[in-house]
């Protein structure tokens, strides 16, 4: 049986990101899944399988920061790479302090993203 590539899960309410990122991730050799909200992700089977989260900060419903908190509370130590369109240093520092792998401002380059994901798998 061929081992499945590690699953990277994209959670973003923006359609462009949900569409484009999984293609790129698969091109880079990962499995990819995409969800439009944190709630959707939490009720899916990806919750168990995801090895890395690419998580949007500002979303309707549960925010990226809240999901990070929720995962930490339930003992799921999934590495998180935040992505956001808002340049807010305070939130960035808070997210990093709580253990995020990286915090990327949109639009970000492929190189920066892959560095972050690789850091997550170290």
Partner 1 sequence: MDNELIGHFNALPCLVWTVFPDGRAEFINKRWRDYTGLSTEDVSGQAWKALIHPDDLPAVLVSWESIVACGAAGQFEARMRRYDGSYRRLLFRMNPLIDASGRVIKWCGVGIDIDDTWRSQEALRIAERNLGLVINAIPVPAWSNRIDGSAEFFNQHYLDYVGLSAEQVSDWGWMAAVHPDDVDALSSTWRRMVDSHEPGEIEARLRRFDGEYRWFMFRINPLRNEGGGIVKWYGIGIDIDDRKRAEEELRRSEACLAEAQRTSMTGSFSWLLDSDEISFSEELYHIFEFEHRSLVTFDRIEDRIHPDDLPLLWDKRKDARSTGADLDYDVRLLLPNGTLKYVHVVSHCTRDRQGRREYIGAVQDVTQRRISEDALGTLRSELARLAEFNSLGALTASIAHEVNQPLSGVITNASTCLRMLAANPPNVDGALETARRMIRDGHRASDVITRVRALFSKKTSVTECVNLNDAAKEVIALSLSTLKSNRVVVKTDFLDDLPAITGDRIQLQQVILNLLLNASEAMSGIDDRPRQIVIKTEEDDDDRIRLTVQDTGVGIDPDVRSKMFETYYTTKGDGMGIGLSISKSIIERHHGTLRAAPNDGPGARFWFSIPRADEHASDSEEIASVRTFAAGNVVRIMGDR
Q: Kindly give the residue spans of alpha helices, DSSP state H, lying in 1-122.
A: 15-27, 38-42, 46-49, 64-73, 89-97, 110-120
Give whichever of 80 and 83 is closer to partner 1, judged by the CB atom: 83
Residue 110 interacts with partner 1 (CB under 8 A): yes or no: yes
Residue 70 interacts with partner 1 (CB under 8 A): yes or no: no
71 CB-contact burial (10 Å; exposed 0-12 / middle 13-18 / buried 19+) = buried
Residue 118 interacts with partner 1 (CB under 8 A): yes or no: no
Give whichever of 31 and 108 is closer to partner 1, judged by the CB atom: 108
Concatenated DSSP letters of 33-51: EEESSHHHHHTSTHHHH-S
Q: Which of 61, 66, 85, 98 binds partner 1 (CB under 8 A)?
A: 85
Binding positions for partner 1, rule: CB under 8 A: 14, 16-17, 19-21, 23-24, 27-28, 58, 83, 85-87, 105-110
């Amino acid at each position: 049986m061929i081992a499945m590539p590690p699953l990277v899960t994209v959670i973003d309410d923006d359609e462009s990101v949900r569409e484009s990122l999984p293609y790129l991730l698969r091109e880079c050799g990962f499995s990819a899944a995409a969800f439009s909200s944190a709630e959707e992700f939490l009720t899916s089977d990806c919750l168990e399988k995801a090895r890395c989260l690419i998580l949007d900060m500002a979303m309707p419903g549960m925010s990226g920061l809240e999901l990070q908190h929720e995962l930490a509370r339930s003992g799921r130590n999934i590495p998180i790479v935040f992505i956001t369109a808002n340049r807010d240093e305070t939130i960035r520092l808070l997210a990093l302090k709580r253990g995020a792998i990286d915090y990327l401002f949109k639009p970000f380059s492929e190189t920066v993203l892959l560095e972050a994901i690789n850091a997550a798998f170290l």
